Amino acid sequence: MTKQHPHTQTNNEVNKQTNIMTLSANLNTIQVNGMEYVRKDSVSGAAPTGDREVVVIDRGWIFAGDVVRDEATGDLTIHNAVHVFRWEEIGYTGVLENPTSKKVTLKTCAYPVKVPAGSVIFTNPVDANWGN
């Protein structure tokens, strides 16, 4: 009789584990072991599409608006811009989620805001009506 190493599985044990998993799929979903997964872009709350973004700029300036990027230079022009002037207690994520909160102060810009590419720290896409 051959002694089996304690961490080695027999073929019978492997077959039992393999038979537990089921898999089915269609064009919109995949199901694994009874759990259904859907395409990321089909879920509400997916990243907004369009040109409106919140732009965080060097030295703490934050603007939002319809962003146009100069392909040659990378510079941004923000149309229909608002300046995120101040927020209290809710943090940056709170501003993104609720720009109309009484804890957020937005100021409308009368003219487009031009931002050199090297001054952009990061951007967040937002819904088309964000800050309006």
Q: 9-62, pLDDT tens digit by residue? A: 665 555 555 555 555 555 677 777 777 777 766 666 666 777 899 999 999 899
Per DSSP, the three-state class of 34 is coil
What's the rounded Cα separation, in Å, for the pair 132 and 126? 12
Distances, alpha carbon 87 to alpha carbons 46, 55, 62, 69, 84, in Å: 25, 15, 11, 27, 8
Which CATH number is associated with domain 52-125? 2.30.30.100
Distances, alpha carbon 69 to alpha carbons 31, 62, 66, in Å: 41, 17, 10
Q: What is the pLDDT of residue 70?
A: 96
Q: What is the pLDDT of residue 51?
A: 87
**pTM score, two decimals?**
0.64
What's the rounded Cα separation, in Å, for the pair 112 and 110? 7
Determine how β-strand 76-87 pairs with β-strand 113-115: antiparallel
- Give 112-126 pLDDT, tens digit per residue: 999 999 999 999 999
Q: What is the pLDDT of residue 9?
A: 60
What's the rounded Cα separation, in Å, for the pair 63 and 121? 12
User: Which residue stretches of the chain are H helix?
Assistant: 11-20, 91-97
What percentage of the chain reaches a pLDDT higher than 70?
73
Q: What is the number of alpha carbons within 13 Å of residue 124 lying toward its C-beta?
A: 14
Domain ranges of the chain: 11-42, 52-125
